[in-house]
Amino acid sequence: MGLDHTLDETAPKHQRRIRYKGTHPKNFKEKYKELQPDQYADDVAKIIQKGNTPAGMHISICVNEILEFLQITPGQIGLDATLGYGGHTLEMLKCLNSKGRLYATDVDPIELPRTRTRLERLGYGSEILEIKHMNFSKIDQIVPESGPFNFVLADLGVSSMQIDNPERGFSFKTEGALDLRLNPKTGDSAASLLKQLTLDELETILIENADEPHARAIARAIISTIKKGFDISTTTELRNIIKDTLKSIPKISEDEIKKSCQRSFQALRIDINNEFEVLDEFLEKLPDALAPGGRVAILSFHSGEDRRVKKSFKHFFREGVYREIAPDPIRASSEECHVNSRARSAKLRWAIKA
């Protein structure tokens, strides 16, 4: 998959072994080996071989397919719009071979400095890599400094580090504050948003952002809990409300309830972070940010994202702005899906500027 799994940020300090119940750590903070891949490389490799993502790490998706399409050559100027763990960034930097310049953006103020340090330790400092804490929707603000891009990558959504860290509140599976913000330093958390929504608004969010079939029932249960004066401030509280509501539907399976929890969290995350609006803005500005012949690849993870990418690429192709676009989305290979279940829903689309 091309990601250098030895990426780690700081020289390890000696620490007493963290105590946990049973033979394997279950909580994020107890997974001290996974959180220090430099020191425990063999343990981390075993976790990856078993098809799991170690805590605090992100396994990059469709690396070979993306590099094959982008055709990066030394001296080019590129943008990784979604830095994350820096896995794709690292592979793109290797292709540049110390010549040219790579820009990278991310809105996450927690993971961004860690990734910057990891990449600096691997020898990729500001002479070749310019990391900016900003939303990719403002791509036009980078171009005056960078010049038009020869290649652009956007790997949409959230990273495994964000999902797995219970303090970020992204997952219904682990107890944590109901936050869901990519940038927790700005805007409203999901807990605060829920208090402001009407029943119809919440139902619309669940339908439009995640095609949730039980949207009305879930929205009604959430709003009535809040009206009774109860706070929904943790991931577990929200999950339990959804579970308890859906359990009363005859013949509903545990799996269906789990999927509804997953979709509801996704729908709220998309709303909290304005994910569709910023993606639309980015897609609209992209053609002007690309050099003639410039290549863009976008990895999306659900239909709401993929529809937007497909529509925009088709629109600009018809206008003659893109000379070629992906006829169909590229999917991760079955081998990759086997070792990384998060690759299963990935769809890769590309376009080439005229």
Chain contacts with ligand SAM (rule: CB under 6 A): 58, 60, 82, 84-88, 105-108, 111, 135-137, 155, 157-159, 182, 278
Nearer to ligand SAM among residue 143 and residue 354 (C-beta): 143
> Which CB sits closer to ligand SAM, 240 or 345?
345
297: amino acid identity, one letter: A
User: Residue 191 is which amino acid?
Assistant: A
Q: 135 or 266: whose CB is closer to ligand SAM?
A: 135
Q: How far is the CB of 270 from ligand SAM (least distance, A)?
A: 10
Which residue type is seen at 244?
D
**Which of 82/165 has CB closer to ligand SAM?**
82
User: Given the complex with ligand SAM, which of 25 and 54 has the nearer CB atom?
Assistant: 54
Among positive and negative, which fits the CA dihedral 247, 157, 183, 197? negative
Q: Categorise residue 267: left if φ over 0, alpha if ψ from -120 to 50, beta otherwise.
A: alpha
Q: How far is the CB of 148 from ligand SAM (least distance, A)?
A: 20
Contact 180, 190 (CB under 8 A): yes
Smallest distance, ligand SAM to C-beta of residue 215, A? 24
Q: Which is nearer to ligand SAM, 180 or 241 (CB)?
A: 180
Rounded (5°) CA angle 141-144-149: 90
Query: Closest separation between CB of residue 83 and ligand SAM, Å?
Result: 6
Give the nearest distance from C-beta 160 to ligand SAM in angstroms.
8
Longest CA pairwise span in the chain (Å) = 62
CB atoms within 10 A of CB 103: 22
Comparing C-alpha atoms, which of 70, 68, 59 is closest to residue 152? 70
Contacts of residue 138, defined as CB under 8 A and 6 or more positions apart, other chains included, come to none
Q: How far is the CB of 250 from ligand SAM (least distance, A)?
A: 38
